[in-house]
Every structure is written in structure tokens, then in C-alpha cells.
Structure 1
Amino acid sequence: MSWIVVAPFAAWAAVRLSGFEPDWPWVPMVAYTPYAVCAAALGLVLACVLRRWAAGTVALVSVLAMTPAVLPRALTDGNPDAKGPVLRVLAANLLIGLADTEELMALVTRLRPDVLTLQEFTPDARRRLEAAGLLRALPHAVAHPLNGVGGSAVYARHPLKAEKMIKFGPFGQARAWLTHPDGARVEIVSVHPCAPKRIGRQPCWLAGLEALPRGGGALRVLAGDFNATLDHLPMRDLLAAGYRDAADVMGRGFQATWPQPGSTNSTPRVTIDHVLADSRMAVREFQVLSLKRTDHHPVFAELRLP
């Protein structure tokens, strides 16, 4: 019995740490690695209670192997000595435009973001938000509203210059260059690759993540629904390319962002909405927020530019 509990999570640890990411169903499964660490720990306890020392040893190795990959998310990191202006970033998935307009505008009023990235941004959502005063709060916009899941937008307090939208399958990711009043230029991406929840979607999901900009010395912020956790290989590649996850930096990397409690989705909760900041930026604050009529929590980060 102990091997039945221990063996699957030993295999999980081996694949997660291998540097290789199999296709479906592993891509959706690996998002639950923090749960797998807890399950492996329970397997260790069970093996010890039953005095199954071989199984216990394997369970112990599994726990020790996976813990360094996940535990740092609960620990705060240091920051670079960034002394530039502050950039406040809010990101929200609108669930095909159905999210509560009044509540989102209340978040904009309370948090005073310099940048708002929106995913699943529909023409109707644009009409409602702009009628509610979004352009008064954030007068600059690069918006690509579409019916369904593919719409994306960047709204900002400061001038924006549009970049070519990243698009794979039905999912779009708006891009824009923000010019801060102090002269700094920051590329902003409203992130939303394909959701890898069923077989056949992994190439679209992977392409959407691999197309996210990196390198070249430019300052960038990627914010939105990544459909990926820090256990996914493309996310780890992004971080290695010069980004930091704001939640991870603030020790809040275990705060789940999807699905919101009360939504119709009963999937175990995971962290797939992120603000990734250039590693030269300091992260001063991070929050996971609530928004009615969507299954995603909005996320907010306050950054300081170098």
C-alpha cells in the first residue's frame, strides 16, 4: 500500500526536476506540484507508520528533491538598488468580458495603477468600462477587443505606442511601449497564451509563452493570465531570461489566482496569473484581489524602475 502512495510522487519529482516537459496530460498536471509535495510528505508519514523503510526512503528523497523548487515562493527575496520612478501594474482576466465593471473600476480608483492589462477583453467589456470612466483614469490605450477569449488590452496613465499583437490560435496578447514622464521606456505585455487544459492545445500554449519578449536590454513588464505556474518549464525559462515574479519576490507565490472561490469551476486552486518584472526593477508590493463574475483573481504589483 505504501508504494501505491509513494511511487507516483517519486515519478512526479523525477519529471519535474528533469528539465524535460512531456506533453498532455503533464502540462496541466505539473501546475499542482505544491500539492504533490504535500502528498509525497503524507506518503513518507504512511511509510514510516507501516515501517516500510524502502518506500519511506524514496518518499523522503522525493520530498527533499521537490521542496527547494517550491519552498522559496513563501520566502521574500531581496531587491536591486532601483531608485527610479514607481510603476503600479494591475492585471485582470475578464472571463469573456463578463467581469463586474463597477468592481473593476473601484479597483482602478483605489489602487491608482499606472498600467492595467486586460485579458478576454470583448467589445462589450470595452464599451462598459469606457462608459464607466476608464479612459478618464487611464487615458492611453492599446486595445484589441474580440468576442470570446482572444481579446487583450493595455490601458495606461502615460503615453503608449502599440507593438504588434502576439497571437496564436484564438488567444491574443496586446503589446505596447509605455513612456514614463521621466523618460524611461517600458514594454508592457498583456499576457494570455492558450489554455493547455486539453490534448492538442500544448503547441499553441507553448508558442504563446515562447513568443513573449526577452533580451535586448529593454525594460519590460509581462502581466496577466499566463495559464502557467512557476513549475512549468516555459515560465522557468522566462525567469532565467531576466524576469522576476512579483508574488515570488514578496513571498506570496503560493497565493492561488484561479479559480476564484464561488466560480463554477471546482478545479483545485493554482497560481497562473502573474506580474513578471525585469530583474533590474524592485518589487515593492504584490496583492491578489477579488473581482466578481470572473474565475480569475486580478493581481497587482508596485514596481520601482532602475
Structure 2
Amino acid sequence: MDNEKAWFVRRVVLSVLFLVAVAVPLYPELFGLDEVTPFPQLVAYRPQGLVVLLVLALLMLVRRGWRIAAALAAVLALVGGALVAPRHFSHARQAPADARQLTIMVANVLGGGANAADVAQLIRDRKPDLVSLPEAQVDVREQINALLQDQQYKGYTAQPGSAVESATSVLVAPSLGPVTFASDPGTTLGNVVVTGGTLAGVRLIAYHGYPPLTDGVMTWKHDLQAVRHWCSEDPATIVAGDFNATVDHADFRQALGGYCRSVGPTVGGGLQGTWPADQPAVLRTQIDHVVVTRQLQPERFTTYPIRGTDHRAVVATVAVLR
């Protein structure tokens, strides 16, 4: 083999190795690495990673010897971008005119660090039927509710552990009537199940999933399995909260299965990042979700700033299909 052919073969081999190297953090599930740190953490920023990869591929075109690698990287970035694009360009389907609407709000209050007045004002403005408050202990819930006395929201808190992060609270609008509150012991952190009243067979669940910390990936996976369980059951279900997972996580997609869908990506709001709130929008990722089963039609999804917390609040509207 002459030197030119040998160099071409070497470039091809090195280009393929480069492609694998950049594909692993973007698509660790393809390599069986989605449970191995740091990949569960990195894949949460897949959209941003694809943009960086495309820019890198364009810069690599300057060097003739790098053009094969640049072409492979550009193809990966463009294909990945095409898969991400529907999260922004999707539109809500038209629900029947007589369908009942439910408005759901999520606000991780960072253990009470969030400005209670901001949370209360958003509730006044958007008038949600259910407010999911991850990391809100009883005192935080009551502080927010005290600013809403004329609204007559009812509250409940589940806190299975002593840590502030384990608390999850809900506020329920009086329009839902005499609802029943319960806690499902199937998750590590607190969750609240709301049924009855005028929900007429719809189940509302306020949820907080364990984060994929270096030493907590298996606990994170366990909590997402609870979501899969809720989604696969018969009652029409809405799960709202801080999932600590994005649609780029294979475990989150498996939890939804064919039973549930996240409202944001379904209605074109899938690239509205909710965390970390103190970073520019392009550096955020969407880990706060409103997830619904197929008996409910996603309609709107919007995020809002709340002072004092590292999460943006989420307000989603869904229609109940009969």
C-alpha cells in the first residue's frame, strides 16, 4: 500500500474513532453507558451539545486532513438536530370545544428559598387547578397560601424524610371540590396523589424525582419507574413536578413509554429550559415537566421566573378528553 492510500485509510479510521468519541456523551444509551457517570448528567444538555458539534465540524473543514471527520460529525449533528426540532416546532392539536381544561403549575421552591410573593402572584395570575411545589415543607406551603387567603386553595404536604428536599407540597383550587390527598410510598422523595372532587376520574400527582447524582443514579432510575407505573395504570393521570430528567434521558422516555407524554415538547415548548434558572436560556435544560396520559390533550406550556430558586416555574394547560 503506497503512502497516499495508507494515509487515507488512517484518516478514515481516525475519523470514525472521533465520531464515536463525540457520539458517546451525546447518545450514551447507544453504547450502554446511560447509567454511568458522567453520561446521565451530560446527556441532559444534548441540544446544546449538538450545536457545539456542528460548529466544531464547520471549523474542522478548514483543514483538508480533518474533512472526513468533519463530514461525519456534521451528519451526526444534523440528524440529531432533526430529532430535536419537533420539540420546538410541534403544535397542540385542537381539543373538542366542550372539553374540560385543567391548568397545572410547577414551582420548585428550593427548600423555601423561592420568593413566596412571586409564587403567590403567579398563582393569582394563572389560576391553576393544581400547584405542585417540590421542596416545599409545610411552613413554606402555608407561607404561600397565606398570601392567597381569598383564593381558598387547599394544601397538603408529603415529606418521607428529614431532608428539606424530600418534601413535596400541593395547593388545590376550590373549584376541584372535596378532593382526597394521599402519598404514594413508591418514590424516594415526597409525592402527593390528588383524587376525587370534581376531577371525575382524573388523578393528579405532584412529583419530585431524585437527581442523577454520581452516587444516586440507581435511585434516580427507581423513582422514574414509579412514573412508568402511574402512566401505565388505567386512570387518566397528570404527573407534575421536578423530574430531574429530560426527554434526552432514555430512562425518562422509557418511563413515559407509550402511555404518557410531556406537555412541553408536545406543544412546541420542549426547548424552554427550566434549570438552572440563573443561567442564560441557551444553557438551561428542561427537567420540570407536566406529564399526561393519552386521555388528556396537551394545549399550552409556559415557563416563568421566580426569584430565589434555581428553577423556572412551569404552567401547562391540558384538556380532558371524554
Query: What's the TM-score bracket when you normalise by the shorter of the two chains?
Result: 0.7 to 0.9
Q: 1:13 to 1:95 in 2, by over 3 A?
A: closer
**Paired amino acid for 2:286:** T
1:72 is aligned, of 86, 89, 95, to 86
Aligned alpha-carbon RMSD (Å): 2.7
Normalised by the length of structure 1, the TM-score is: 0.87
The one-character-per-residue Cα deviations of 1:69-97 (angstroms, maximum 9, x if unpaired) are 31111112442744421101011101012
Q: 1:62 to 1:178 in 2, by over 3 A?
A: farther
Q: Distance in 1 between matches of 2:168 and 2:79?
A: 38
Q: 1:138 to 1:233 in 2, by over 3 A?
A: farther
Q: Distance in 2 between matches of 1:275 and 1:86?
A: 14
Give the secondary-structure state (helix, strand or coil) at the position aligned to 2:111. coil
CA deviation after TM superposition for structure 1 residue 106, in Å:
0.6
Q: Distance in 1 between matches of 2:79 and 2:120?
A: 44
Q: Which residue of 1 aligns with 2:7?
A: none
CA deviation after TM superposition for structure 1 residue 261, in Å:
2.1
Please tell me whether the aligned partners of residues 144 and 152 of structure 1 are also in contact (alpha carbons under 8 angstroms): yes
Q: Which residue of 2 aligns with 1:248?
A: 265
The one-character-per-residue Cα deviations of 1:98-152 (angstroms, maximum 9, x if unpaired) are 2111111111111011111110012320231232235x42533332256511111
2:156 is aligned, of 124, 128, 142, to 142
**Paired amino acid for 2:52:** A
**Paired amino acid for 1:173:** N
Higher helix share: 2
Normalised by the length of structure 2, the TM-score is: 0.83
Please tell me whether the aligned partners of residues 168 and 206 of structure 2 are also in contact (alpha carbons under 8 angstroms): yes
Q: Distance in 2 between matches of 1:260 and 1:148?
A: 20
**Paired amino acid for 2:23:** A
2:169 is aligned, of 153, 160, 163, to 153
CA deviation after TM superposition for structure 1 residue 13, in Å:
4.4
Identity over the aligned pairs, expressed in percent? 24
Output aligned runs, 1:234-245, within 5 Å. 234-245=251-262
Q: Distance in 1 between matches of 2:169 and 2:143?
A: 14
Please tell me whether the aligned partners of residues 138 and 169 of structure 2 are also in contact (alpha carbons under 8 angstroms): no
CA deviation after TM superposition for structure 1 residue 18, in Å:
5.7
Give the secondary-structure state (helix, strand or coil) at the position aligned to 2:300. strand
Q: 1:17 to 1:259 in 2, by over 3 A?
A: same
Q: 1:217 to 1:79 in 2, by over 3 A?
A: farther
The one-character-per-residue Cα deviations of 1:230-283 (angstroms, maximum 9, x if unpaired) are 1011221233232221111221211110111279xxx94211111112233222
Q: Distance in 2 between matches of 1:26 and 1:20?
A: 7
2:217 is aligned, of 202, 212, 219, to 202
Please tell me whether the aligned partners of residues 9 and 36 of structure 1 are also in contact (alpha carbons under 8 angstroms): no
What 5-or-longer segments of structure 1 have no aligned partner?
none
Output aligned runs, 1:177-216, within 5 Å. 177-180=195-198, 184-197=200-213, 199-212=214-227, 213-216=230-233
Q: Distance in 2 between matches of 1:291 and 1:271?
A: 16
Please tell me whether the aligned partners of residues 92 and 118 of structure 1 are also in contact (alpha carbons under 8 angstroms): yes
Please tell me whether the aligned partners of residues 27 and 196 of structure 1 are also in contact (alpha carbons under 8 angstroms): yes
Output aligned runs, 1:1-306, within 5 Å. 8-17=21-30, 21-51=34-64, 52-79=66-93, 81-82=95-96, 83-133=98-148, 136-144=150-158, 148-157=164-173, 158=176, 159-166=178-185, 168-169=187-188, 171-180=189-198, 184-197=200-213, 199-212=214-227, 213-261=230-278, 268-306=283-321
CA deviation after TM superposition for structure 1 residue 220, in Å:
0.6
Q: 1:19 to 1:251 in 2, by over 3 A?
A: farther
Q: Distance in 2 between matches of 1:294 and 1:46?
A: 38
CA deviation after TM superposition for structure 1 residue 47, in Å:
2.6
